[in-house]
Amino acid sequence: MEIMIESIGKLVNEFSRLPGVGKKTAQRYAYKIIDMTEAEAKEFADAILSVKKKVRYCSVCGSFTEDDVCGICRVRDSSVICVVKEPRDVSAIEKLHEFKGVYHVLHGTIDPMAGVGPNDIRIRELLARLGEKDVKEVIVATNPDVSGDATAMYLARLIKPLGVKVSRLAHGIPVGSEIEYTDDVTLTRAFVERNEL
């Protein structure tokens, strides 16, 4: 039935582009749109267009912003820079209200298998920032996978000679979980990075 009605079929296809959304879920979403008032649907469509029109990358840190320089870069302590892979990682860390410094978004991590080298991500821009301001510490917050580890090692080798401290987020057993159910790799990292009491 939904194939027979072109506009519904098209909307189902569009919703299917979203991550983790199959045909059935896309259909439920499409029905929800049909159930909306015209004004609600217009607001939805406008929100999509508005994000594409307004959101861009901060010219300093590379995170999302609607201005030239993002709100974090404008007001926060720029002596500590947290390096992340994606703008969404900034959002995850900001939620903690713990980190008071600024960010640097690499827009990727070094991954030779995928043809991503150090020049393909925003490492040059990071070095330029280190030259401009008095940076005390760079915290590398890339994911704990091969590519994230390689990037962290690469950055440490590059930045430490400049006299800037380089640290990395700790890996280990997630708080609240059990040793029995922790995967081998994580458990091994927890041993290697064990802390003296």
Rounded CA gap, 118 and 105, in Å? 14
Nearer to a copy of itself, 91 or 188 (CB): 91
Q: Which amino acid is at 161?
A: P
Q: What are the residues facing 152 on neighbouring strands? A: none
State yes or no: residue 116 binds a copy of itself (CB under 8 A).
no
CA dihedral 33, 37, 38, 39 (to 10 degrees): -110
- As a whole number of Å, the end-to-end CA separation of the chain is 65
Instruction: Give me the residue label for tokens 């008095």.
Output: 134
Tell me which stretch binds a copy of itself (CB under 8 A): 5-13, 108-116, 123-131, 170-178.
5-13
State yes or no: residue 69 binds a copy of itself (CB under 8 A).
no
Tell me which stretch binds a copy of itself (CB under 8 A): 86-94, 125-133, 159-167, 178-186.
86-94
Rounded CA gap, 26 and 41, in Å? 16
Residue-level length of the chain:
197
Residue 69 tokens read as 């320089």
The pairing of beta strand 64-65 with beta strand 56-57: antiparallel
State yes or no: residue 32 binds a copy of itself (CB under 8 A).
yes
Tell me which stretch binds a copy of itself (CB under 8 A): 58-66, 114-122, 126-134, 148-156.
58-66
Residue 17 tokens read as 């582009």
- From the CB of 24, what's the least distance to a copy of itself, in Å? 10
Tell me which stretch binds a copy of itself (CB under 8 A): 47-55, 76-84, 113-121, 164-172.
47-55
Q: Please work out the total of residues on this chain that contact a copy of itself, with binding judged by CB under 8 A.
A: 54
The residues binding a copy of itself (CB under 8 A) are 1-2, 4-8, 10-11, 13-14, 17-20, 25, 27-34, 36, 38, 40-55, 63-66, 71-72, 87-88, 90-91, 94-95
